[in-house]
């Protein structure tokens, strides 16, 4: 969709499409971006999708997108919408198919020079211990009763079974469990798809990565988070696997059929939604929360596999502990309290390719980080930098406590396969000192750095807009992918 003539500046690094642009718009549509980014953002359907999101029943304040925005299913990826609780809309398209896709960062006590000659061995061991690829199962298979416990209890259940520590849970968003989860609302098909997928990363842009902290921008906050220059850290990026995908599929179908009963008419059927307070809405929310718990359990088990890999490769050289810095979702819906029109209101915040970024002093930020704001983990593309940011008070005022989630695709996977030769890319990465362990060359080509926007520019926008601030930058040493 071409940029509309009605587009106007709305503060620093923010642009607004007013409600007068479209007959069905209930609120304005806002884009966080540098002016130089707008043309490329308008090259796909993401702005059209954003305008459509502004038509959701009960939507509050504005429909928002971040600078990593690109076209998705119904909602654009990078989209945020808050609807009135409890009667506003809940839309699976506003969360996405990979429910609670998110990022966890682990810190180690190693410096780069200590592991300089061990990254190949560590990558190979991680590739063995964390299965990857479409539909690939893991080393742990759940019984039906165990599946119920994972869905209802999330990461704390894994810790209770010996997979990790209470500290891991403490430094996870929502302590790794959404309490309104209801395993009974997850279909048998979804359960079957998830039975053996805990401890696996899947394919696409998911990865486990060894990184080196190469820049500190805010020394006080970095120290609070336990980060130092030249430190080796681990990033884990994955979600709820086939189980979450099936939950989305099941409930999109349900909601398409249910909308006429609630007199909901939308400009795009992919925005399928129902009132949150309806039976279908509550059922989806219970199933979505259960899938989110599954994803946190998945990242918890992968954390254990990372620790095992370090133990196996390093043996007596292993020093210190490998700790969770933070774990944060970027595909989720949550009931939160925000200021809307000067009034504190409970709202249903949809984040699809957007990261929670609560500011200093917020009660949901763990006490150790509350003075500086919540850690925000922004993965780059394979071979480029990733960032640790911190949430701000500004994000609470103008983006429902949210910011970007990554670089954002600028090229489809099929186009990337046509334009990128995987063998050449692997050679380039090797020359940069990056070890790659991947299940397929096709997957490597699809995730080439040129297929993504410039993560540095994306992060600069959210910092300049004041909705997150830079803390540290990390660069890859070893990448494990499907």
Q: What is the pLDDT along the chain (482 residues), one digit of tens a residue?
A: 678 999 999 999 999 999 999 999 999 999 999 999 999 998 999 999 999 999 999 999 999 999 999 999 999 999 999 999 999 999 999 999 999 999 999 999 999 999 999 999 999 999 999 998 777 777 789 999 999 999 999 999 999 999 999 999 999 999 999 999 999 999 999 999 999 999 999 988 999 999 999 999 999 999 999 999 999 999 999 999 999 999 999 999 999 999 999 999 999 999 999 999 999 999 999 999 999 999 999 999 999 999 999 999 999 888 789 999 999 999 999 999 999 999 999 999 999 999 999 999 999 999 999 999 999 999 998 889 999 999 999 999 999 999 999 999 888 889 989 999 989 999 999 999 999 999 888 888 888 889 999 999 999 999 999 999 999 999 999 999 97
Q: For residue 400, is the peptide bond before it cis, meaning its omega torsion is within 30 degrees of 0?
A: no
Strands 63-70 and 29-32: parallel
List all residues 6 or more positions away from 188 whose beta carbon is below 8 Å from its beta carbon: none
Element (H, E) at 225: helix 219-225
DSSP state of 482: -
H or E element: which one contains 441? helix 441-446
297 beta partners: none
Model pLDDT, residue 1: 64
Model-wide pTM > 0.75: yes
- Find the Cα–Cα–Cα–Cα dihedral 350, 353, 354, 356, rounded to 10°: 80
Give pLDDT tens digits for 43-86: 999 999 999 999 999 999 999 999 999 999 999 999 999 999 99
Domains observed in the chain: 8-85+99-481 (3.90.1860.10)
Query: Which pLDDT does position 132 carry in this prediction?
Result: 86
Q: Which residues are catalytic?
A: 405
Structure tokens, 115: 């592991």
Which residues have C-beta within 8 Å of that of residue 177, sequence separation ≥ 6?
153, 154, 155, 156, 293, 296
DSSP per residue over 275-291, as a string? ETTSHHHHHHHHHHHHH
Collapse the DSSP code of 250 into the 3-class scheme (helix H, G, I; strand E, B; otherwise coil) and give the result: helix
Number of other residues whose CB lies within 10 A of the CB of residue 323: 17
Token pair for residue 254?
């349900």
In sequence order, what are the beta bridge partners of 333?
A: 350
Q: Which residues of 405-438 are buried (b: 16+ CB within 10 A; e: fewer)?
A: bbbbbbbebeebbeebebeebbeebeeeebbbbb
- The DSSP string of 348-396 is EEEEES-EE---TT-TTS-GGGTTT--EEEE---TTS-EEEEE--HHHH
Q: What pLDDT sits at residue 102? A: 98
* Beta strand spans in 71-171 (E): 77-84, 89-90, 102-111
């Amino acid at each position: 969709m071409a940029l509309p003539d009605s587009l106007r500046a709305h503060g620093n690094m923010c642009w607004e499409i007013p409600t007068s642009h479209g007959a069905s718009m209930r609120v304005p549509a806002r884009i966080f971006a540098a002016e130089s980014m707008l043309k490329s953002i308008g090259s796909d359907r993401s702005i059209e999708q954003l305008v459509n999101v502004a038509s959701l029943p009960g939507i509050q304040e504005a429909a928002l997108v971040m600078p990593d925005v690109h076209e998705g299913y119904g909602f654009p990826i990078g989209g945020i919408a808050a609807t009135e609780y409890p009667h506003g809309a809940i839309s699976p398209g506003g969360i996405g198919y990979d429910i609670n896709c998110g990022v966890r960062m682990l810190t180690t006590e190693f410096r780069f020079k200590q592991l300089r000659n061990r990254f190949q061995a560590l990558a190979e061991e991680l590739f063995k211990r964390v299965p990857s690829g479409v539909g690939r199962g893991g080393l742990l298979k759940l019984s039906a009763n165990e599946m119920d416990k994972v869905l209802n209890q999330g990461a704390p259940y894994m810790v209770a079974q010996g997979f990790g520590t209470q500290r891991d849970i403490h430094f996870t968003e929502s302590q790794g469990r959404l309490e309104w989860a209801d395993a009974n609302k997850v279909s048998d098909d979804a359960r079957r798809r998830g039975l053996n997928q805990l401890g696996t990363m899947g394919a696409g842009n998911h990865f486990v990565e060894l990184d080196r902290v190469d820049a500190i921008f805010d020394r006080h906050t970095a120290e609070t988070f336990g980060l130092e220059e030249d430190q080796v850290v681990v990033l884990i990026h994955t979600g709820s696997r086939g189980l979450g995908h099936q939950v989305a599929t099941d409930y999109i179908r349900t909601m398409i059929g249910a909308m006429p009963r609630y007199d909901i008419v939308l400009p795009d059927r992919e925005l399928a939604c129902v009132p949150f307070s309806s039976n279908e809405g509550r059922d989806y929310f219970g199933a979505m929360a259960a899938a989110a718990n599954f994803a946190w359990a998945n990242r918890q088990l992968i954390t254990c596999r990372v620790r095992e890999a370090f133990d196996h490769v390093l043996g007596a050289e292993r020093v210190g502990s490998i700790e969770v810095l933070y774990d944060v979702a970027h595909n989720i819906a949550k009931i939160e309290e925000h200021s809307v029109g000067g009034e504190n209101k409970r709202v249903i915040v949809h984040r699809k390719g957007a990261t929670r970024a609560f500011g200093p002093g917020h009660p949901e930020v763990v006490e150790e980080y509350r003075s500086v704001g919540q850690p925000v983990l922004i993965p780059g593309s394979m071979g480029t930098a990733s960032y640790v940011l911190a949430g701000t008070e500004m994000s609470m005022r103008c983006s429902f406590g949210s910011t970007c989630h990554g670089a954002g695709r600028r090229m489809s996977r099929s186009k990337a396969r046509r334009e990128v030769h995987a063998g050449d890319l692997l050679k380039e990465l090797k020359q940069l000192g990056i070890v790659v362990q991947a299940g397929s060359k096709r997957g490597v080509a699809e995730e080439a750095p040129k297929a993504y926007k410039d993560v540095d520019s994306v992060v600069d926008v959210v910092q300049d807009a004041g909705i997150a601030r830079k803390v540290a930058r990390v660069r890859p040493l070893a990448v494990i992918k499907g």
